[in-house]
Copies of this chain bind each other. A is one copy, B any other.
């Protein structure tokens, strides 16, 4: 049985917020987490949505993430802001980073960066850069994640799937938002295929011996393939360096899982970069429209980001569909305080 229930945007946020608070999260933290997860569901990025609530709460209970922790600014200069996630959820730290980047870029233009140290699952990497772009700035975010992809010639995972997200503002339209992880397929899809007993394409990953396989269970024991072979591995390494070592956080191979109780806090990192689009080119916005027109003229397909905006609009209007089992679980967590 896969019964679905449809609930409104606000009810979904309210329910998630209530469950997190009941299970020991700070009110502000819970609000930030709940709104990020529901926005992910609304955008169709359900792997980063309310389905995370039970495991997030589990991780709070075992101290892998501190639900009471508020982020703080560790250091600040004209060009950079260091934010400590303080052992807590990533979302409040990322929101603080976005706020600080916008303030700095509004005041001084140019380029400003924010590093988030000791962080947790960043959710949809496109969201923070979208916020920067909604305010008129170019946004880039790199995040490292627990190990999933093997390095050059190997078969054991070392690098995370390490999302890269970028957003470009437009004058009268939603921003262009790109958001991609560096594995060919998401781990979630492989887990799903394993659960269903179905095969996967033979380029998604390798078994423990580094051999291609269509068996999702073997890939989960082995390692995921990066996009473009060594090219994607190289990009994953770049993200490890910039979002891991550079911001004083763990590498993917040092980070614990975002899903289970094993290990201490993952302490992954995020790096955000914000740029004034008019820094070098007063005609930036005009030129972007030329590019958009060209893509539209030659190609039948949509611009990156447009699908998630359409999904979101529909969800805001008609509500979100959830599995009844998930909603029942979250309702239970909301009622029984710890």
Q: How far is the CB of A292 from chain B (nearest CB, A)?
A: 10
Q: How far is the CB of A10 from chain B (nearest CB, A)?
A: 32
A82 touches B138 (CB 8 A): no
Complex partner residue of A280 from B117, B150, B287, CB under 8 angstroms: B117
A152 touches B237 (CB 8 A): no
Binary per-residue interface labels of chain A (106-148) against chain B in the complex, 1 for a CB within 8 Å, 0 otherwise:
0011111101010000000000000000000010000000000
Interface size in chain A (residues, C-beta < 8 A)? 71
Do A151 and B277 contact each other (CB < 8 Å), given the known contacts A109-B77, A234-B180? no
Complex partner residue of A231 from B111, B180, B234, B295, CB under 8 angstroms: B180
B111 touches A273 (CB 8 A): yes
Binary per-residue interface labels of chain A (191-233) against chain B in the complex, 1 for a CB within 8 Å, 0 otherwise:
0000000000000000000000000000000000001111110
Known: A80-B111, A111-B112, A248-B280. 19 other contacts (CB 8 A): A80-B110, A80-B279, A117-B280, A151-B295, A152-B301, A152-B303, A153-B300, A154-B295, A158-B294, A158-B295, A164-B235, A178-B237, A240-B291, A245-B287, A245-B288, A245-B291, A246-B279, A246-B284, A251-B294
A246 touches B138 (CB 8 A): yes
A279 touches B115 (CB 8 A): yes
**Whole-angstrom distance between the alpha carbons of A108 and B127 in the complex?**
31
Q: Which residues of B contact A19 (CB under 8 A)?
A: none
Residue A46, interface by CB 8 Å: no
B113 touches A111 (CB 8 A): yes
Q: Which residues of B contact A277 (CB under 8 A)?
A: 246
